[in-house]
């Protein structure tokens, strides 16, 4: 089997990723001599490298990095025959955790080349045409993502400190949210749209969300004080976030978010300048993914739909 491993050397903890590059070379030489390893040089390069692999009919393309690397590689694989495999080494690894993918390098590498792994199709989302695969967000969500990306040290502890600092300074904004013909205005601290159930690190922003139901889950948090926000943070890890009276949730295939002025939003943790109006849509079963044979996060019925997967150009 021909594979391409795409490694982002700047993902997660740099010392761990540096060791991983040596492990990858040894693994390829021993277990997958037909594969190749390529290293990204900067933002957007992973997408270029993945497109090259798709053009050469590579059946599996392996993203070695965090959620941002996963996003860049997956963009090139949308609506193609090539399947995405993940070797998670970022700070959150939200999609990998949701799917129950192995988090250790050795187990993830073995899954990537396994002939018995399932190739299953998952939903993806876009916001004003920008793809996301795990979650997107605005407000405090995007503020925290931007601050966190500027840190030289990552990890859950530093993410928590960054979130607290942002919470002290961030102000809510008025948003109109439209879903299925129903419109609601909310003074929101943050708005997140999730494909999976979590941000990463098992922080469940949308408990019950699935990546194979043809729907996205929108979660809006009303403006709250510091004490209430601390309670919400606890709920994130208890799986009860959506039951808070401060949280409003919708499930749908399309959303329109209208805010008073342009601003920042994030897709899978990477921030972008955005318009005041954000059109969000789900794209059912648009990405093929390598998952364990016993994966329960994707219904087995989805596998049959990938057999005749049509090759399209996004």
Same domain, 154 and 277: yes
Buried b (16+ CB within 10 A) or exposed e, 136-156: bbbbbbbbbbbbbeeeeebee
Total number of domains in the chain: 2
Residue 61 lies in a domain: yes
* Residue-level pLDDT at 20: 81
Same domain, 273 and 156: yes
What is the domain-level CATH number for residue 237? 2.60.200.40
Give the tens place of pLDDT for each residue, 49-91. 999 999 999 999 999 998 999 999 999 999 999 999 999 988 7
* Residue-level pLDDT at 123: 98
Confidence class for position 310, pLDDT limits 50, 70, 90: very low
Average pLDDT over residues 160-189: 82
3-state class (DSSP) for residue 308: coil
Average pLDDT, the chain: 87
- Across 166-170, 193-197, 241-245, the highest mean pLDDT is recorded for 193-197
Confidence class for position 150, pLDDT limits 50, 70, 90: low
Same domain, 233 and 94: no
Distance CA 162, CA 247 (A): 22
Output the six-digit token pair for 106: 């050795």
Same domain, 86 and 158: no
Output the six-digit token pair for 313: 């150009």
What is the domain-level CATH number for residue 57? 3.40.50.10330
* Residue-level pLDDT at 309: 40
Answer with the residue of higher pLDDT: 290 or 157.
Answer: 290
Same domain, 109 and 243: no
Same domain, 156 and 243: yes
Same domain, 90 and 50: yes
Same domain, 78 and 115: yes
Same domain, 165 and 256: yes
Give the tens place of pLDDT for each residue, 190-235. 999 999 999 988 999 999 999 999 999 999 999 887 778 888 888 9
Residue 312 lies in a domain: no
Same domain, 217 and 277: yes
Confidence class for position 111, pLDDT limits 50, 70, 90: very high
Helix (H) or strand (E) holding 174, with range, is strand 173-179
Residue 310 lies in a domain: no
Give the tens place of pLDDT for each residue, 262-307. 999 999 989 999 999 999 999 999 999 999 999 999 987 545 444 3
The DSSP secondary-structure symbol of 259 reads: E
Residue 313 lies in a domain: no
Average pLDDT over residues 101-127: 96
Give the tens place of pLDDT for each residue, 5-37. 999 887 655 445 567 888 999 999 999 999 999
Cβ neighbours of 303 (radius 10 Å): 16
Residue 163 lies in a domain: yes
pLDDT at 256 over 90: yes
* Residue-level pLDDT at 291: 97
Residue 60 lies in a domain: yes
Average pLDDT over residues 143-158: 65
Residue 314 lies in a domain: no
* Residue-level pLDDT at 208: 94
Of 161, 150, 61, 159, nearest to 113 by C-alpha is 61
Same domain, 197 and 250: yes
Distance CA 246, CA 218 (A): 14
* Residue-level pLDDT at 126: 98
Residue ranges making up the domain that contains 203:
130-282
pLDDT at 164 over 80: no
* Residue-level pLDDT at 167: 64
* Residue-level pLDDT at 224: 84
Distance CA 268, CA 199 (A): 8
pLDDT at 124 over 80: yes
Of 118, 8, 106, nearest to 60 by C-alpha is 118
3-state class (DSSP) for residue 179: strand
Residue 58 lies in a domain: yes
Same domain, 134 and 10: no
Answer with the residue of higher pLDDT: 242 or 172.
Answer: 242
């Amino acid at each position: 089997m021909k594979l391409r491993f795409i490694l982002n050397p700047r993902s997660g903890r740099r010392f761990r990723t540096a060791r991983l590059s040596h492990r990858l070379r040894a693994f390829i030489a021993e277990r997958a001599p037909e594969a190749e390893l390529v290293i990204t040089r900067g933002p957007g390069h992973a997408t270029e490298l993945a497109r090259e692999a798709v053009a050469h009919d590579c059946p599996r393309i392996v993203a070695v990095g965090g959620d941002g690397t996963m996003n860049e590689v997956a963009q090139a694989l949308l609506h193609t025959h090539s399947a995405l495999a993940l070797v998670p080494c970022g700070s959150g690894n939200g999609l990998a955790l949701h799917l129950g993918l192995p988090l250790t390098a050795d187990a993830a590498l073995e899954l990537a080349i396994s002939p018995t792994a399932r190739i299953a199709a998952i939903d993806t989302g876009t916001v004003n045409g920008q793809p996301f695969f795990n979650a997107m967000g605005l407000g405090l969500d995007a503020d925290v993502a931007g601050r966190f990306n500027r840190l030289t040290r990552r990890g859950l502890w530093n993410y928590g400190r960054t979130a607290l600092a942002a919470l002290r300074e961030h102000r809510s904004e008025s948003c109109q949210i439209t879903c299925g013909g129903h419109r609601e205005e909310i003074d929101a601290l943050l708005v997140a749209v999730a494909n999976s159930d979590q941000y990463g690190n098992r922080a469940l922003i949308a408990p019950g969300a699935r990546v194979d139901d043809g729907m996205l889950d929108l979660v809006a948090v009303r403006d709250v004080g510091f004490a209430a926000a601390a309670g919400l943070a606890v709920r994130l890890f208890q799986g009860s976030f959506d039951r808070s009276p401060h949280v409003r949730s919708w499930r749908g295939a399309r959303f329109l978010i209208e805010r008073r002025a342009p601003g920042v939003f994030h897709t899978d943790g990477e921030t972008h300048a955005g318009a005041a109006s954000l059109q969000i849509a789900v794209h059912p079963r648009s990405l093929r993914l390598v998952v364990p044979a016993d994966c329960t996060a994707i219904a087995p019925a989805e596998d049959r739909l990938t057999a005749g997967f049509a090759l399209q150009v996004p």
